Amino acid sequence: MKSALRNAYYFTLSRYSLNPNPSLLQIAPFISTFPSLPSVLSRNHPFRSPLCATLMAGGDYDSLQTSPLEKQFEKFRVQLEDSGSLRERIRAVVLEIESATRLMQASLLLVHQSKPIPEVLQKANSQINVLKGLYNKLAEVVRECPGQYYRYHGDWRSETQMVVSLLAFMHWLETGNLLMHTEAEEKLGLNNSDFALDLEDYLVGVCFMSNEMPRYVVNQVTAGDYDCPRKVLKFLTDLHAAFRMLNLRNDFLRKKFDSMKYDLRRVEEVYYDVKIRGLATTGDSVGDQGAQKI
């Protein structure tokens, strides 16, 4: 009986020789408290017993329970290391997205210096294809663990919000309209993908875009474009009204939406300044002058 014990002890030692597991050294005292253990060992071929699942079915022999315990945790460690390395790859792609975004932003800033819009947009548009490629790269990486988009979503959330705000601003400069959620997805090449553009990211991006409006309007008026405030005011009013249709929780999106009304107010002030001084030159201002303010 003693030799069976010794065999099991040495076997487990050799099996886990690389594992700094102090609990193994305590097998001996524990075995003494479980007198039935040696008989089980001799029955079940001690050379295989630490790895044999059937031994564990007994349930009370926790000295050898470290095996399935350790196996499970070893499996966990591998899983966590894999997800860690996946996260690193995601981070690498997101950094590239960030730098492409910064280039886009830098060229869009020229619009405040009243460079002609088509010229500004051309430079910014060239980055869109870069972004498209990067987002597809990101989608490929995330596709390796299906269903876990939202596990890693935080790693690209703020960058995506910035991208959406720039795309929406560019779309507005081109067309005067709001870039829709599906249109934004198309621009980034994500419309047919399982890697979607999260709706809340899109909405926050739109709010960031509205933050740009007051500054744009002020600079346009300074440069002499007196029609701009009217267009911007109309756009922003519609946008704000549309956002009011949403029921928001008290989260980040709500805070950004709240800031939109300050942008709206700022644009209203600029519009008012231009109007009362009769600087706006469209037929609109003539019609307004004809109306009697009560």
Residues that bind another protein (CB under 8 A): 21, 23, 26, 30, 33, 56, 59-60, 62, 65-66, 68-70, 72-73, 76-77, 79-81, 83-84, 87, 147-151, 153, 177-178, 180-181, 199-200, 203, 238-239, 242-243, 245-249, 283-284, 287-288, 291-294
Tokens of 170: 């560019």
21 or 105: CB nearest another protein: 21
223 or 241: CB nearest another protein: 241
Least Å from the CB of residue 133 to another protein? 24
Q: How far apart are CA 151 and CA 145, in angstroms?
A: 10
93 or 253: CB nearest another protein: 253
Least Å from the CB of residue 246 to another protein? 5
127 or 171: CB nearest another protein: 171
Least Å from the CB of residue 59 to another protein? 4
Least Å from the CB of residue 43 to another protein? 20
18 or 291: CB nearest another protein: 291
75 or 115: CB nearest another protein: 75
Least Å from the CB of residue 150 to another protein? 4
What is the number of other CB atoms lying within 10 angstroms of the CB of residue 138?
25
Least Å from the CB of residue 289 to another protein? 11
